[in-house]
Chains A and B, each alone.
Chain A
Amino acid sequence: MFSLYILILISLLVAAGAFGLYIWAVKTGQFEDLEETKYQVFDEDDEVPPGSHHGTKTK
């Protein structure tokens, strides 16, 4: 029976950790715009790392 107490307490800790992660996600705005994210690959204005010629902009 003792293991039950331990396991429940551990699960609570895990849940608390998950909740912390969730708070972080909300605070950093991960849920703000679920719609736009999928179009981000088409965004041209991404910063291009210097020297990478795949990303060279053609205008």
Chain B
Amino acid sequence: MASNWRWFHQLGSPKWFFEKSAKWLPWLWALFFILLGLGLYHSLWVSPQDYQQGHSVRIMYIHVPVAALSMVGYVAMAIACTIGLVWKMKMAFAAARAIAPVGAAMTFLALFTGAVWGKPTWGTWWEWDARLTSELLLFFLYLGFIALHSSFSERNKADKAASVLALVGVINVPIIYFSVKWWNTLHQGYSLGTGGVADEFKPALFIMIAAIYVLFANLVIMRLRAEVLLREQKARWVADWAKGSEKGVKR
């Protein structure tokens, strides 16, 4: 019975995560660079230009993946906060805190590449369109989560207060997602699914989405390793790790 859930309990162990993630990261980075190489080759070289947008369509191969991850990241953060609040799992709070800066970076890039893509395509850097405004709100939610978390000196209180903010803010995610349907103002419709991009753009887009997913995971794992050390600094295994790395035996 318990064996099905063993991975979950193991993930709840900071020591287990810290040791295992050191072994995962080199493979995950290798996977990322393979995907990135393939993705850039397709998005900058193989993929044709759009008959209307010209070469600016290549911005899509960055914009769509980072925008997707900005929302996926927020949902993942909210799920981690829920697990933390309901099951009092400390690693879940640590994970939420680790996701926040990476998610904020994804959101910033979605806004930036969107603006840079908007200028040649719509003739404007910014418009208070529903999609753009709700994505900007997402950026402030990430920053708010980080600011609120760091405003408490006691970590337990910080985790709880920031989690409440994350859960209230999650209502914004479906608003971003459906905004192009509900308020059909400026932003174009879905890139994926029916009526989305033409087939010749798909290989580059799918590979870049996969690459950015892996990159997101890698950066969150890196940040989470630091977060685990911060939270477990008094634990014996942390001392052992610091001593081991001094001799260059363990990383």
The answer to whether A and B interact is no
Residues on B facing A (Cβ under 8 Å): none
